Amino acid sequence: MLLHVKRCVGLRSADLFGKSDPYVTISVEGGERFKTRVTDNDNSPVIDEMYYLPGKTPMIRFTVLDADDALGGSDDVLGEFKLGFPKPVTSTEWRSVKGTLEGKKAKGVLELAVRLYTPTRVTLNSAKGLRNADGMFNKSDPFAKLYGLIDEAGDQAARWGTTRVVDDDLNPTWGESFTIDFEGRLPRGGRLSPLKIIVLDYDKGSAISSADVDTLGKVTVPWTDAFATEPRRVSLSLKYKGSKAGKVDVTFEALAGNDDGAPTPAQPTSTSADDAEARIRELEAQLRIRELEAQLAAATMGQPAASPSASPPLARPAQPAGQYPPMATPVAQPATPAPQLMRVQVPAGCAPGSPLIVAAPSGQQLQVTVPHGVHQGMFFQVEIPSHLQNV
């Protein structure tokens, strides 16, 4: 579940000379306890923090407190609010909640919103009006990165995708999609950092990861876009050193969830790794179609269903009694060989998009790419080329 802690309105002043310094604690029944940042001297603070709460959440207790910086002082409780869920949240529609705070001397309202968590597909369509980082005789060679929401190892923001480089163009078109899915990567839940997009200029004399790569502009994505209910296409203003630096055109789409609240598998995107996954699904569908065709043919002939690889029975027209023409020798139709698939587990330290070397059944080495949305410890299937199969 996604929880958006929006703001508090009309809190009481707990300080003698000034307003309260409020923050909110979030206690999940049978789970974790989280804490928002403190807002100084404000009885109607805008919090605007997003939390991911995994699993079913029957009850959440919100406690609003006043931070006391005085030596030996304790934080004053400004009020509490309980939010119960008799049934799991199964809708991607945002449900707004206004909770009146209760308790001794309590005053004010806590504003929240909740919805089902599902993966999000982000398409980096294009950019316009980028700054030129290559001097008078050339133009920037821009590419874009999508990152944020959760921290990976070493407190590095998770990277969800990088577009290709478009040479010598201040108005590039990428049209590349990436799937954001952090279920399983944040098992205990927690506060999400903002989602960000950065546009960079590729220096042909260095690697893309080089520190010499110039920043053309970046933008923090609003929560209303990053977790939009309906597909949303927006134009976001880029900033460079505090000034406007063009715009980036982005589409956000929440992928549908199952009735039990679990997200459906990510849909294929335009990246090469996801194209490989789509090819595997296509081959599996073809096998199923052949099986159904065999069953249908068997039912029509009144015969038991043959295996998908077996040749269908040959039908002959009925002959008058006493006439028995010589039977033609049936010609066996070659069976379409099923593609040989291999199950691969992602080793530790490998992220989506990383290359892997695996051993094929023939003993030879095969290079594959970890699909997007598949992380260390998870499995994915690889189609084995015919020349590397066991024969």
- Residue 271 in this model has a pLDDT that exceeds 60: no
Picking from 331, 329, 378, 326, the residue whose alpha carbon sits closest to that of residue 352 is: 378
120-254 has CATH 3.30.1950.10 classification: no
* 2-115 and 120-254, same CATH topology: yes
Helix (H) or strand (E) holding 196: strand 195-201
Question: DSSP letter string over 330-363?
Answer: PPPPPPPPPPPEEEEEPPTT--TT-EEEEE-TTS
**pLDDT at site 306:** 47
Query: What is the spatial distance between Cα 391 and Cα 387, in angstroms, rounded to a whole number?
Result: 9
Average pLDDT score over residue span 267-275: 41
The fold for domain 2-115 equals Immunoglobulin-like (2.60.40)
Q: 373: pLDDT confidence band, cut at 50, 70 and 90?
A: low
Q: What H or E segment, with its residue span, contains residue 289? A: helix 272-301
Percent of the chain with pLDDT over 90: 44
Is residue 13 a contact partner of residue 22, using CB atoms and an 8 Å limit? no
pLDDT of residue 298: 61
E strand or H helix at 223, and its extent?
Answer: helix 223-226
How far apart (Å, rounded) are the C-alpha atoms in residues 144 and 124? 8
User: pLDDT exceeding 70 applies to what percent of the chain?
Assistant: 73
Q: What is the pLDDT of residues 23-72, one digit of tens each?
A: 999 999 888 899 999 999 999 999 999 999 988 877 999 999 999 876 55
Under the banding of pLDDT at 50, 70 and 90, the label for residue 289 is low
- Any idea where the domains of the chain sit in the sequence? 2-115, 120-254, 268-288+339-391
Average pLDDT value for residue range 370-388 = 74
Give residue-wise pLDDT tens across range 85-140.
878 888 889 999 999 999 999 999 999 999 999 999 999 999 999 999 877 778 89
318 phi/psi in degrees, rounded to 5: -70, 145
Residue 310 in this model has a pLDDT that exceeds 60:
no
pLDDT at site 29: 87
Q: Give residue 246's region: left, alpha or beta (phi > 0; psi -120 to 50).
A: left
Under a CB-based contact definition with an 8 Å cutoff, are residues 125 and 233 in contact?
Answer: yes
Q: Phi/psi of residue 213, each to 5°?
A: -65, 130
Tokens for 384? Answer: 């084995």
**Mean pLDDT throughout 174-197?**
92
